[in-house]
Amino acid sequence: MNNLIWLLFYEFFKIGLFAVGGGPATIPYLMDLAEKYDWFTMEDVTNMIAISESTPGPLGLNMATYVGVDALGVFGGAWASIALTIPSIIVIVLVAKFLNNFSQNRWVKAAFYTIRPAVAGLIAAAVYNVFVVSLFVEQAGEKVLAIKTCILFVIVFALMKVKKLGKLHPVVWLIGAALVGIIFQF
Amino acid sequence: MKEYLELYWAFFRIGGLTFGGGLSMLPMLKYELVEKKKWVSEEQLLDCYAVGQCTPGIIAVNTATYVGYLKKGLAGAIWGTAGMISPSILLITTLCLFLNNFMDNVWVQHALMGIKGVVCALMLNTVISLAKKSLVSPLCVVIGIAATILAMFTDVPTVLIVVVAAIVGIIYEKIKGGAKHE
């Protein structure tokens, strides 16, 4: 038990230290955790994304709380969130104290010029995993395409390209999809 | 003490009332910190944002730490950050306790299968807009594709991919800078 507490702290501290670019950048790291430990599954990560999109607060933080509660109960939620934020406090205080114009620094800019596409690539790979767990269902031990979910995905993606609809809050789409799922027995 | 609590409460409101984090938080931050409290100027807030994006961690948390630090030093940074993370912890913990008994319900299962379709669409949009913003040169495209392939098909640690990308950027700048000076 004691080990689990420190392991959780260590893993979320690491995410806080290396997830550059905010919320979505935490998703690839969470998928790593899902593979490495039995705290939660890939499918849980997908559910977490839906919950985070429909509740206030930053995505990364909501994910940390969710995973923490799943792994360690009520205490774990606060614990994982704190672990995630400690690197921020250390780094930001150092930057504010010692580096003027940090974001204008030549080398910082150079590093971020290539970090950004790498993070985009990592998130793309994470999204591929989200697709696999979302659009397929297990039937008699085999992965079968969940046709209704796929159709809904294509329709919603197309509708989001319509200018006015694209501005709708994600929670509107999520509630709508939940209703469609219930009505059409997905 | 009163000032610390004020910092805590201001960021508690921001954390508890904005959906999505990141950029969607900017209008709320501007309203609370620049217009209402007058703690920072709009330029300072945008600086915070720039720093928040080029430092590891969640952008909203980084901004809370930075503003708290400007106001009241290290203690201010901690109070501001605590305020920002409190609503998420309270809300999500409550939701999880309630959800666990609830996930196995047949209706909830149907709803989740629908929700998954929308999550896929939302995530695909996130990737597309990230790619548009970050794939701005052939070098960036190569790095983006390499990172995708490595993350999908190999066990290379995610952290390593980010670190190597940073090093490539610095080396590239060095070569480019060197060529300019000769």
Enumerate the residues of chain B whose CB falls inside 8 A of the CB of residue A66: 92, 96
Nearest CA to B30 out of B43, B12, B20 is that of: B43
Contact A137, A146 (CB under 8 A): yes
- Residue A87: partners with Cβ closer than 8 Å, 6 or more residues away: A13, A16, A17, B56, B57
Beta carbons of A92 and B125 less than 8 Å apart = no
SS3 state at B177: helix
A100 in B contact zone (CB under 8 Å): no
Contact B39, B67 (CB under 8 A): yes
Interface test with B, best of A29, A30, A86, A88 (most B CBs within 10 A): A88
ipTM score for this prediction: 0.79
Kindly give the parts of chain B with pLDDT less than 70.
Answer: 19-24, 100-101, 178-182
- What is the distance in angstroms between the Cα of A81 and the nearest Cα belonging to chain B? 7
- What is the distance in angstroms between the Cα of A147 and the nearest Cα belonging to chain B? 10
B166 in A contact zone (CB under 8 Å): yes
Kindly give the parts of chain A with pLDDT less than 70.
Answer: 1, 21-23, 100
SS3 state at B58: coil
Q: What is the pTM of this model?
A: 0.78
- What is the distance in angstroms between the Cα of A38 and the nearest Cα belonging to chain B? 16
- Residue A177: partners with Cβ closer than 8 Å, 6 or more residues away: A152, A156, B111, B114, B115, B117, B118
CA angle B116, B121, B124 (to 5 degrees): 120
Interface test with A, best of B118, B141, B153 (most A CBs within 10 A): B118
Q: Torsion over CA of B154, B155, B158 and B160, rounded to 10 degrees? A: -100
Q: What is the pLDDT of residue B23?
A: 60
CB-CB: which of B58, B59, B93 is closest to A77?
B93
Enumerate the residues of chain A whose CB falls inside 8 A of the CB of residue B167: 111
The number of C-beta contacts closer than 8 angstroms across A and B is 366
A156 in B contact zone (CB under 8 Å): yes
Interface test with A, best of B54, B98, B156 (most A CBs within 10 A): B54
- What is the distance in angstroms between the Cα of A32 and the nearest Cα belonging to chain B? 8
B175 in A contact zone (CB under 8 Å): no
Domain residue limits, chain B: 2-99, 106-181
A41 in B contact zone (CB under 8 Å): no
